């Protein structure tokens, strides 16, 4: 069974966004993430930001990229919940880490945090409905 057949067969809440909407939202968010996260890493390289401030950004990138293989490759819903919770927590950590130096970077994460909050709630709902 393909990943889309598997996903379509899962019980989901009625408020689940359409796949096209999910894709469109990520199409908007990824450039914001690339620019703001890239800025943070460049500032650390330039020694204008301590390297420890980049840690939540690095963890966030890794956990964000791991979500799709966990969810659709392994088809492991509980592990996908753990992963998306880490994504959510590291967004908050990112915002806190850069707020004193680059408030615009922290504020740029607000749409990402809102979307991942919704996605986390959705993932928990799907996992509970299919356990």
Give the number of other Cβ atoms within 10 Å of residue 128's Cβ. 12
**Tens-place pLDDT, residues 121-131:** 999 999 999 99
**Tens-place pLDDT, residues 8-39:** 999 999 999 998 999 999 999 999 999 999 99
Q: What is the pLDDT of residue 97?
A: 98
Q: For the residues 42-66, what does the mean pLDDT come to?
A: 97
Q: Which long-range contacts (CB under 8 A, 24 or more apart) does 59-66 make?
A: 59/86, 59/90, 59/93, 60/87, 60/90, 60/91, 60/93, 60/94, 61/37, 63/87, 63/90, 64/33
Q: What is the pLDDT of residue 6?
A: 96
Give pTM, 2 decimals.
Answer: 0.95
Mean pLDDT of the chain: 97
103 φ/ψ angles, rounded to the nearest 5 degrees: -60, -30
Query: What residue segments make up the domains of the chain, in order of their start?
Result: 18-129
Q: What is the pLDDT of residue 38?
A: 98
**Tens-place pLDDT, residues 94-113:** 999 999 999 999 999 999 99
Residue with tokens 């996992």: 127
- CA dihedral of 121, 71, 69, 42, whole degrees rounded to 10: 0
Q: Are 125 and 107 in contact (CB under 8 A)?
A: no
């Amino acid at each position: 069974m393909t990943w889309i057949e598997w996903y379509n067969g899962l019980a989901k809440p009625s408020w689940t966004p359409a796949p096209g909407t999910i894709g469109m939202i990520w199409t908007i968010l990824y450039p914001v993430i690339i620019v703001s996260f890239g800025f943070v890493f460049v500032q650390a390289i330039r020694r204008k930001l301590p390297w420890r401030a980049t840690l939540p950004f690095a963890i966030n990138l890794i956990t964000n990229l791991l979500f799709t293989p966990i969810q659709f490759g392994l088809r492991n819903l509980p592990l996908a919940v753990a992963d998306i919770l880490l994504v959510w927590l590291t967004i908050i950590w990112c915002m806190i880490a850069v707020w004193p130096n680059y408030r615009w970077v922290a504020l740029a994460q607000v749409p990402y945090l809102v979307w991942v909050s919704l996605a986390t709630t959705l993932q928990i709902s799907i996992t509970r409905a299919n356990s």
